[in-house]
């Protein structure tokens, strides 16, 4: 009988694959630079899932793992924090935003925000929310930019602004400093607005800033947070984290009505325990950021490549001749970010290696050299 195949993770651990009728249908050595969602599951998270398996636990969040998760999150976000695990980032954003708005409410956000560009209208269709967008040069709102949409509070003909939503990191890979977040929160609160943070890549921001996440969330005045896990090594799962309970209503009901209540919630919660009980969240994010900086340094010196944005997380934005970019896409997956300018986005993940980065940078140089003839 043949030996069982093995799986090797980034932590260097290897073990036999349990018997299954499923067939491996991909090459686990292939890497892309399209999205950190392309990465697999961190081996430590897989181990946690196996740990939580077996036996019976009460469904819908009344399990031991979800109960323990409350205190784990409080070590990072303060003793007032309340945690509601959900399936995905769009679900976290829509559910969280509904909890701090009325039926006639509107959300002020950057024009490039994920809730506006990449959620298929879910805040509007599912949450019934009007998005009031503001153009930003770097994906970041400021008090002055918020004021462009913060008006008409008593105009029954206009959706009433009730929330400011910011992303950390932004869709353009930029980070808010704690001072910038605090300035936004102070201004928003003076206007009677709550503040929501889309933290799909919050761990990457913490790694860049070198401060605990509470510094630019709870302590800065953020009221409700979508905390990301999938982009940082989880199989699936995000969390809505309530930081100001007095401003939030009906989250348990909204989570269910938004189709975000997991029956076997222990398997969402235990992943976050693996991520946050120790330093896995920071290790993984810091590594992804370091690989992005390595990629930026490698491509910046290549003739024909122009890095277009500061690298403050795990994303590199660049412009190169379209012909070369399209040929490169046949070797490595990545996306055009802006079709009109030819800007592309290259993402690194927790499992991106130095060899992956160096190989990709070499391919960029090869394609540009071939184009020049």
Q: Which of 232, 287, 281, 277 is nearest to 51 (CA)?
A: 277
pLDDT tens per residue, range 55-83: 999 999 999 999 999 999 999 999 999 99
**How confident is the model at residue 16, as a pLDDT?**
63
- Does the pLDDT value for residue 10 go beyond 60? no
**How confident is the model at residue 53, as a pLDDT?**
96
Q: What is the CATH number of the domain that holds 223?
A: 3.40.640.10
Q: Decide if 205 is inside a domain.
A: yes
Number of domains in the chain: 1
- Does the pLDDT value for residue 301 go beyond 60? yes
Q: pTM, whole model, 2 decimals? A: 0.93
- Does the pLDDT value for residue 255 go beyond 70? yes
Q: Decide if 79 is inside a domain.
A: yes
Q: Decide if 313 is inside a domain.
A: no
Q: Decide if 363 is inside a domain.
A: no
**How confident is the model at residue 9, as a pLDDT?**
40
Contact 226, 92 (CB under 8 A): yes
**How confident is the model at residue 4, as a pLDDT?**
39
Q: Decide if 17 is inside a domain.
A: no
What's the CA gap between 282 and 208, in Å, rounded? 10
Q: What is the DSSP string of 36-93?
A: GGGS---HHHHHHHHHH-SS---STT-SHHHHHHHHHHHHHH-TT-EEEEES-HHHHH
The neighbour count for residue 177, using CB atoms within 10 Å, is 16
**How confident is the model at residue 17, as a pLDDT?**
63
pLDDT tens per residue, range 283-297: 999 999 999 999 999
- Does the pLDDT value for residue 6 go beyond 80? no
pLDDT tens per residue, range 105-128: 999 999 999 999 999 999 999 999
Average pLDDT, the chain: 94
- Does the pLDDT value for residue 7 go beyond 50? no
Q: Decide if 159 is inside a domain.
A: yes
Contact 239, 273 (CB under 8 A): no
pLDDT tens per residue, range 216-243: 999 999 999 999 999 999 999 999 999 9
Q: Decide if 155 is inside a domain.
A: yes
Q: Decide if 125 is inside a domain.
A: yes
Domain range for 144 is: 48-276
pLDDT tens per residue, range 143-183: 999 999 999 999 999 999 999 999 999 999 999 999 999 99
Phi and psi at residue 133, to the nearest 5° = -95, 155
């Amino acid at each position: 009988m043949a030996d069982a195949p093995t799986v090797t993770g980034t932590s260097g651990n290897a073990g036999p694959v349990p018997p299954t009728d499923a067939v491996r249908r991909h090459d686990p050595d292939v890497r892309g630079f399209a999205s950190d969602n392309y990465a697999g599951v961190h081996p430590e998270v897989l181990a946690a899932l196996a740990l939580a398996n077996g036996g019976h636990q009460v469904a819908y969040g009344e399990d031991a793992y979800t109960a323990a998760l409350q205190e784990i999150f409080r070590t990072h976000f303060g003793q007032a924090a309340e945690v509601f695990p959900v399936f995905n980032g769009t679900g976290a954003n829509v559910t969280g935003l509904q909890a701090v708005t009325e039926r006639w409410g509107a959300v002020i956000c950057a024009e490039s925000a994920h809730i506006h560009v990449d959620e298929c209208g879910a805040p509007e269709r599912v949450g019934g929310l009007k998005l009031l967008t503001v153009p930003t040069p770097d994906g970041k709102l400021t008090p002055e930019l918020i004021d462009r949409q913060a008006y008409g509070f008593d105009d029954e003909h206009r959706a009433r602004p009730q929330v400011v939503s910011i992303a950390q990191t932004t869709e353009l890979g930029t980070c808010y400093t704690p001072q910038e977040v605090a300035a936004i929160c102070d201004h928003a609160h003076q206007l009677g607005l709550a503040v929501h943070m889309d933290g799909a890549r919050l761990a990457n921001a913490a790694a860049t800033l070198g401060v605990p996440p509470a510094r630019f969330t709870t302590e800065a005045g953020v009221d409700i947070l979508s905390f990301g896990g999938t982009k940082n090594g989880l199989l699936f799962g995000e969390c809505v984290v309530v930081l100001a309970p007095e401003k939030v209503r009906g989250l348990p009901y909204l989570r269910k009505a938004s189709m975000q209540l997991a029956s076997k919630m222990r398997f969402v919660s235990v992943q976050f325990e693996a991520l946050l009980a120790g330093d896995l969240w920071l290790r993984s994010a810091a590594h992804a950021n370091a690989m992005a900086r390595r990629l930026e340094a490698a491509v910046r010196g290549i003739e024909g490549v122009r890095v277009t944005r500061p690298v403050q997380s795990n994303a590199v934005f660049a412009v190169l001749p379209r012909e070369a970019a399209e040929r490169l896409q046949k070797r490595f997956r990545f996306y055009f970010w802006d079709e009109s300018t030819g800007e592309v986005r290259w993402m690194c993940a927790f499992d991106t290696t130095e060899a992956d980065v160096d190989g990709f940078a070499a391919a960029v140089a090869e394609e540009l050299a071939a184009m020049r003839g």
